[in-house]
Amino acid sequence: MGRFLSHATNKIDAKGRVSIPSAFRTVIAQRGIGELYCFQDFVFPAISVGGQDVLDRFERQIAAEDPFSPLANEMSLLVHGGGVFMKPDTEGRLMVTDFIRSFTGITAEVTFVGRADHFQLWEPSAFHEVQRAAREAQRQRGLGAR
């Protein structure tokens, strides 16, 4: 099955929409995803986007915990309280809502970043800085390409 790979930056149009890259639209179609589950990433200033399977995976993790435990409550707060469903329009565009803008700092452009079973929406300069730092951290640990 297709994976979300690579990254691409697209401009937000005058109506506040951004086109999902065609390679990502292909994976969405291959996976039969009709509605996109979008959630505020737990680590990065990005919106993570996937199908129902991503939400189901989180809910299985929550269900495995004591429902009154701090861990289950924190996970639910992040997964449910920090998530929404969005549907691309017929042209494959997403509305860049306040939910997205306020969490990421996105203004005029969106960088789409593949993360295997989901993708992320980033403010372009933030993505490049975090990717550069990750590359440097890997280099420091001696795990870079040889």
Q: Is the pTM higher than 0.75?
A: yes
Per-residue pLDDT of the chain (146 residues; tens, 9 = 90+): 699 999 999 999 999 999 999 999 999 999 999 999 999 999 999 999 999 999 999 999 999 999 999 999 999 999 999 999 999 999 999 999 999 999 999 999 999 999 999 999 999 999 999 999 999 999 999 865 55
pLDDT at 33 (0 to 100): 96
120 neighbors 48 (Cβ within 8 angstroms): yes
The pLDDT value recorded for residue 144 is: 54
* pLDDT on residue 12: 98
Do residues 111 and 132 lie in contact, with contact meaning Cβ atoms separated by under 8 Å?
A: no
Domains of the chain: residue spans and CATH: 7-140 (3.40.1550.20)
CB atoms < 10 A from the CB of 30, how many? 11
Q: How many Å apart are CA 52 and CA 50, to the nearest integer?
A: 7
